[in-house]
Every structure is written in structure tokens, then in C-alpha cells.
Amino acid sequence: MHPRRHISPFQFALLIAASYMGFGIFQFPRELVLHAGPDALWGLLLEFAWALAALSLWFRVNRLHPDRPLFAFLPRYLPRSLTDLVAGVTVALHLLLAVVALANFGFLMRTYFLPETPLWAIDGAFVLTAVYIAWYDIAPLARTLETVFTVPALLSIFIGLLLIGRMRFGYALLPTTRLWILPTLRGAYYDAYLFFGFEITMVLYPLVRAEEQATAERYALWAMVMTCAFFLFGYAMVLGVEGPFFLARIQWPTVSANRLVDIEGLFVNKLGLLVVVLWGLMLLAFLALRLWCVIHDVMPSFGSHRLPAYRLWLVTAAALTLSAALAIPSIAPLSQLLMTVVLPAMLGYILGLPLFILAAARFAHRRRPPPRARRLTGTRALGRPRSRLV
């Protein structure tokens, strides 16, 4: 009766999908339409392409040492100080993402659902739940996602289908025949937050059994393709219902569209609003995964792998996230933070880091063939931190 130490390929794919789906689902596709205009569809497709390419790139990085998390093998290719710097940036970015996601959701909930509830209570309850999801480490987290993730996904599709009846701006869905490159690129850039988060694979990948890693990669890519289809569907529905110009003015376009769904004869007739709350599940998964990932980046540096230490770090990271999210006064500075700081930093990180590591690895291999039998003594403490945790 051993504690579970591995995740299945399906769980891996689900976790990867959950690591980015919750972040942008509420404000998507405002920036895309705002910047790409009639070429928004091309911008979206371009975005899908870069996301798939970047995920494949991260898998290549993982394949360098499939049995170890990124920061366990990075010192092999980079100087120690640089590794620490990258680790610090990773932690900071993860926390920043968590803060933005949490604050955004808090404002959303207060606007539409709990107008008189203080923000600290809304965010606090959310963070508390996220901490509890991550409390037992990755295996229960994965299982919880397996159980709950399908509900909002299926309900969203159902709500989307119901929205077809309210589509008044179907013309905007047509693709343009004359492609304007710059707006398309701008649209894809400003909407790139939709896929932020899958770099979590740097810690998740080694949890998959070696013989299943190839399958896991395939599943994760397929999951991303399905997510793209989901986003495309969402894009079509929201654009068709709101119209392109109005869409660009709405804070949370998907939520506004969902609020329109009204099914007569149901106990809860505003089913769309219910789905918005259920989307909170996706965000919960996002937040829990982020906290989990941050700790797994940090913990090896302190040489501690035990569950109590993990939980202490978890609570600390959650408290930090909550305080930072509460420090943001309203949605306007939050949007600015997202667009001016998070977006360029994350995009640079997601695309730049794997390229840099791959280049460094190639350089290192050329200088010194990889000693397969030898283990790096310096990184032993960093290797397999999960073994006692899961």
C-alpha cells in the first residue's frame, strides 16, 4: 500500500489544460477583437498555433531529463546563479499570475454576484478553497480536477448552444479575405494571456511514468487542441451575441454573454450565471496548480521535501497572493498590470526560456557529451522532491 507517486497521462493532460484555462476565460476575447478588428479570427488561430508550438517546445525541454523537474537539471547547463535567477523569476511570475487571476475573479464576483460582500471575504474563501485543493499534493488535486472539470466544460458548451438564439451579429464571425498582418499580430499578442500557465509542465512532467511520457505529451497536445476548439466556440458565441464594437467595451465579455441565457421552466432559469460561478472551478484549479508549482520550485532550494513543510509554504504563498490581490484597488489598474507587465513578461518567459535552455543544452552537449551513468551530486537534493509528498 504505497502512496501514489505518479499521475496518469490523462491526468497530466488535464492538469496542463487546467493550468491555463481558468486564467483568461472571463475577459477573453476583448483584447483580441479590440486590436485585431475584423482579423480577430486569424489572430485567434495564430494564438492557437503559438500556444501549441510553445507547449511542444516545453516538452522538448522536459525530454532533456524526463525524470527531473526543470530546476533539478538546469544547473547542468547554466551557472548556479543564473539558475537561481530563473527560479526566482519563475516563482515571481507564477505568483503574479495567481494574483491577477484572483483579483480579477474577486472583482467579477463582487460586480455580479455579491455586491455587498467585502472583497477580502470573496477572495479569502476562494484562496482557502484553492489551498485545500492543493493541501494533499498533486494526486488528490488531479483527481479533483478529473471529477469537476467536465461539469463547467459541458455546461459551457450547453450555454453556448443556447446563446445561438441570441446571436444578432453573426456577420462578425466571417473571416476576412484580406489579412492585415499588424493588427492580427497585435490581436494575438494582446490576447496571449489565454494560454498562460502551461509552463507548469516543468514540474509536472517527471511525475508521469517514463513509459507513459510520450502518451502524456500527445494527450496534453490533444487537450490543448480541444481547448482551442472550446475557445473558438466561445469566441464565436460571444462575438455573435455582443457584436464587435460592444465586445471591445465590455469588461468581462463572456460573463455578459452568459448572463443572457434564460431558460424558462427551470428552477434556476438564469443558468448562464450559474455557469459563470462554475467557471470559478477552472480558476480554482488554476490557482491551486499555481500555488503547488510555486512551492515545488521553491522547496528544493531549501532542501525540504516533507509534507508539513510543503503545507507551510503553501499557506505562505497563498497568504502572499491574497494580500497582493487585495492591494489592487479596482479592475482598471489590474487590467493595466495585466497588459503592461504580466503579458510581456510571461510571453517572454514562455517562449524565451525553453529556447534558451535548449540552446544552452545543445552548447553543453557539444562541449561535453552527456555522462549518462553519472548522477549530478550537486542537484541530488533538488531531484524528485515529490517522492515523499505525493
Partner 1 sequence: MRHWGKVVVGLSLMGLLSGCWSNRPVERRNLALMLGVGPAPHHQIRLIFQIPTRSGLTGLTKGSGASQEASFYLIEGVGATMTDAFAQAQAKTTRDLYLGQVEVVAFSTRLPPTAFEQARNMFSRLGSLDKTAYAVATPSVRRLLALQPRSGELPGIILASNFGCLSCNVEHLERTVWDMETAHYNRGINLWLPLLSAGPHGFEINQMAVYAQDRPVLILTPPETQALGYVMGLTHKGTLTFRWGPHWVALRALDARPHFAMAWKDGRPAIAITLDVTGSLAEYLRGELTPPVLKAVETAAEKDLARRVTAVLARLQQAHVDPVGFGQSWVWFHPTRFARLGSWRQAFAHATISVQVHLRLNDIGDLT
Partner 2 sequence: MARPHRPSPAARDVTGPATAAVPAWAEAAVRRLEASEQALARLSPVVVPLLTEVVSLSQRLEQWLDALTADLRAPQGNLDRYGGNVEAAHGRLLATVGTSPDVILRRFGIGRTLRWPALLAFVDGLVDAAMIDRDVLGPLQSAEALPVHDPQSLLNAVQERVVAVGHVTVENVWDQLLTKLVSGNALLFLEGVPEALVLDTVKYPQRSVGRSQTEPSVLGPQEAFTEISLTQMNLLRLRIQSPGLRFTPLTVGNRSLTQVVLVHLDDVTNPALVSAVLQRLRTIRRDSVQTANEVAEYLADRRWTLFPQTRQTDRVEWVAREVMTGKVAVLVANDPFAIILPNTLMDFYRTTQDYASSFWDTTLTRIVRLVALFVGIYLMPLYIALTSVNTDLIPTKLLLTIAGSRAGIPFPPISEVIIMWVIIEVLREASVRLPQQMATTLGTVGAVVVGTAIVKAGVVDDIMIVTVTLTALGLFTSPAFELTSTWRWLFWGFIAAAYVFGIYGIVLMTVAVLTHVTSLENYGVPYFSPWGPLRVRELADSLVRLPLPFLTRRPLSLRTVDARLSHRRTTRQAVDLYAGQRRARRR
Q: Minimal distance in Å, beta carbon 112 to partner 2? A: 9
Q: Which part of the chain contacts partner 1 (CB under 8 A), choosing from 10-18, 120-128, 344-352, 373-381?
A: 120-128
Task: For residue 209, give the C-alpha cell.
Answer: 511514468
Identify what 278 binds: partner 1, partner 2, none; CB under 5 to 8 Å per kind.
partner 2
Using CB under 8 A, which of 49, 53, 125, 182 touches partner 1?
125
Q: Minimal distance in Å, beta carbon 125 to partner 1? A: 7
What does 252-321 look like in DSSP terms, one character per residue? SHHHHHHTT---TTSSS--HHHHHHHHHHHHHHHHHHHHHHHHHHHHHHHHT---HHHHHHHHHHHHHHH
Identify what 277 binds: partner 1, partner 2, none; CB under 5 to 8 Å per kind.
partner 2
**Looking at beta carbons only, is 240 or 383 nearer to partner 1?**
240
Q: Minimal distance in Å, beta carbon 355 to partner 2? A: 35
Which residues neighbour 345 within 8 Å (Cβ) at sequence distance 6 or greater?
Answer: 93, 96
- Give the length of the chain: 390
Burial class of residue 369 (count of CB atoms within 10 Å of its CB; 0-12, 13-18, 19+): exposed
Q: Minimal distance in Å, beta carbon 291 to partner 2? A: 13
Site string for partner 1, 294-333 (x = CB under 8 A): --------------x--xx---------------------
Using CB under 8 A, which of 53, 88, 111, 161 touches partner 1?
111
Q: Minimal distance in Å, beta carbon 113 to partner 1? A: 8
* Residue 165 binds partner 1, judged by CB under 8 A: no
* Residue 264 binds partner 1, judged by CB under 8 A: yes
Write the DSSP symbol of residue 37. G
Q: Minimal distance in Å, beta carbon 287 to partner 1? A: 17
Identify what 2 binds: partner 1, partner 2, none; CB under 5 to 8 Å per kind.
partner 2
Burial class of residue 129 (count of CB atoms within 10 Å of its CB; 0-12, 13-18, 19+): middle
Task: For residue 259, give the C-alpha cell.
Answer: 448572463
**Looking at beta carbons only, is 287 or 382 nearer to partner 1?**
287
Q: Are residues 216 and 44 in contact, defined by beta-carbon separation less than 8 angstroms?
A: no
Which residues pair with residue 103 across a beta bridge?
Answer: none
If one counts every other C-beta atom within 10 angstroms of the C-beta of residue 185, the result is 16
* Residue 211 binds partner 1, judged by CB under 8 A: no
Q: How far apart are CA 201 and CA 207, in angstroms?
A: 10
Among positive and negative, which fits the CA dihedral 334, 337, 338, 342? negative
* Residue 95 binds partner 1, judged by CB under 8 A: no
Q: Minimal distance in Å, beta carbon 41 to partner 1? A: 12
Q: Is 370 left (phi over 0), alpha (psi -120 to 50) or beta?
A: beta
Contact residues: partner 1, CB under 8 A: 37-38, 110-118, 121, 124-125, 128, 168-169, 171-172, 174, 176, 242-246, 249, 256, 259-260, 262, 264, 270, 308, 311-312
